[in-house]
Amino acid sequence: MGKLRLRNNGFRTSKQERKLVSIREGQRKRYCEEDHHQDLASKSVHADHSYAVTSKRFVPDISNIVHEEVLDNDGNNLTPTDDWRVGRRVVELDVIADHLQQCKHCGLPLSLHNTINIKTYGLGSVLKVLCTNKSCGNINAIPTGKQHDHKIWDVNTKLALAAIDLGLGEHQINGLLSILNIPTVSHCMIDNRIREVGDVIESVADESMEEWTEKEKEMTRESDGNDNVTVSVDAAWQRRGSGRSYDSLTGHCSMIGLKTGKVINYKWRSKACRICQRAEISGNIPRVHKCNKNFTGSAKAMEPDMVVDMVKESRSKGANITAIIGDEDTTTIARLRAKVDPTIVKLSDSNHMKNPLEIVCMSSKQTFNSIT
């Protein structure tokens, strides 16, 4: 039996001691090899994030911070940078392949290894690739994606469409991009692209409503033998009313055909415009803009105003709306009968009738114990 030795963490035999020393020596050698490999890799590979750094702490190279810029005869900066190697980019391979096929001046093939700079425009980028032909030396602008309408990047428009569809804001978008190590987008860019996409969405919605309005009239005529259209209306607000306070700044309402089950009209109301508010605070005249403020009353008064507007508009387009299905708010039907048609019929919605009925039943159950 081996001789026992007393240590700080207990007793070990000589055999266990030799085994422990051997393990530590092997670990030390492996760590040294890993540090050597990391030193070699750090010369050409950038760590994605801090969690990619393992045992050795990288020290940034600041030896080339002070340097002279190299300019050509036209004043273009030819000083090579490695910014295009850092992080990730959203690229369209076919666009890059087509532009790298040949130099615009001499026609020789280009290579990404000769990239000297990069300019970022949201998710789009332009690579500055130097032609290796000594008699040419042209700097070619290589876009990473397609563009439309005065150099608007398609990928930025798609990003705005995704933000609207998923309900994401600027902070959520930039949070996702930063985790993916993709350059973030500016507020101005995403705001302009959302306006661009919003106009297109509104035009598509208008075409869809006109199409389904005609189908609603046809189905009503086929089933009922007349043109009297019945619709369902309901509104929603950005902030929920408490019963005593209705202070939401925006509200929206939709009109759905009974036969088709499709939206045939919609309206929205807004009591605020940020551009107008900033101009009023600073005491200046608001700049020319598309003002979103179209209502001045209370949030509770938005629904009757929107329903009246939708019924008038639909009737002007040939849809003879004679009945509406809605909640138990009597203000809406009273406003319709006063401003549109006194013969409009009001029908109750089963979903809105269920909750008041359940409340009455539960209160009766507490009063009368015999009710089960």
Write out pLDDT tens, residues 220-276.
999 988 889 999 999 988 876 655 666 788 999 999 999 999 999 999 999 999 889
Confidence of residue 51 (pLDDT cuts 50, 70, 90): very low
Of 371 and 191, more confident: 191
For residues 58 and 348, what is the distance between their CA atoms, to the nearest angstrom? 70
Predicted TM-score (pTM) of this structure: 0.68
Domain with residue 351: its CATH number is 3.30.420
CB of 67 within 8 A of CB of 79?
yes
Do residue 298 and residue 238 come from a single domain? yes
**Same domain for 27 and 96:** no
Task: Please tell me whether residues 250 and 353 are part of one structural domain.
Answer: yes
- Does the pLDDT value for residue 109 go beyond 70? yes
Structure tokens belonging to residue 113 = 């290894």
Distance of CA 5 to the CA centre of its chain: 66
Rg of the chain taking only CA atoms, in angstroms? 34
Establish if 174 belongs to a structural domain: no
Closest by CA to 307, choosing from 337, 349, 262, is: 337
Nearest to 327 by CA among 253, 268, 266, 260: 253
Helix and strand totals (H; E) in the chain:
9, 12
Same-domain status, 258 and 133: no
Which residue type does 315 have? Answer: R
Asked if the structure places residue 125 within a domain, the reply is yes
The answer to whether residue 176 sits within a structural domain is no
Q: By the 8 A CB rule, do 295 and 247 touch?
A: no
Task: State the Cα–Cα distance between residues 99 and 85, nearest whole angstrom.
Answer: 19
Cβ atoms of 55 and 34 within 8 Å: the answer is yes
pLDDT at 4: 45
Summarize the confidence of residues 26-30 as an average pLDDT.
Answer: 78
**Residue where one domain finishes, among candidates 113, 145, 177:** 145
Domain count, the chain: 3
- Judge if 256 and 353 occupy the same domain: yes
Burial class (CB in 10 A: 0-12, 13-18, 19+), 296: exposed
Strands 147-148 and 152-153: antiparallel
Higher pLDDT, 12 or 318: 318
Q: For 1-31, b where at least 16 C-beta lie within 10 A, e where not — what string?
A: eeeeeeeeeeebeeeeeeeeeeeeeeeeeee
The two three-digit tokens of residue 119, written as one number: 């300019």
- In this prediction, residues 11-34 reach a mean pLDDT of 77
Range(s) of the domain holding residue 33: 4-52
User: Is residue 256 located within the same domain as residue 314?
Assistant: yes
Tell me the three state secondary structure of residue 147. strand
More confident residue, 78 or 290: 290
Same domain, 139 and 266: no
HSE-CB for 18 with a 13 A CA cutoff = 5
Q: Indicate whether 261 belongs to any domain.
A: yes
Nearest to 92 by CA among 131, 127, 129: 127
- Select the more confidently predicted residue: 64 or 365: 365
Evaluate whether residue 282 is within a structural domain.
yes
Q: Phi-psi bin for 65: left (phi > 0), alpha (psi -120 to 50), beta?
A: alpha
Report the DSSP beta bridge partners of residue 12: 5
> 59: pLDDT confidence band, cut at 50, 70 and 90?
low
- Which of 145, 165, 198 represents a domain boundary (last residue)? 145
Please tell me whether residues 232 and 331 are part of one structural domain.
yes
Judge if 234 and 276 occupy the same domain.
yes
* C-alpha to C-alpha distance for 114 and 278, rounded to whole angstroms: 48
Q: Is residue 185 part of a domain?
A: no
Percent of the chain with pLDDT over 70: 79
> Do 118 and 238 sit in the same domain of this protein?
no
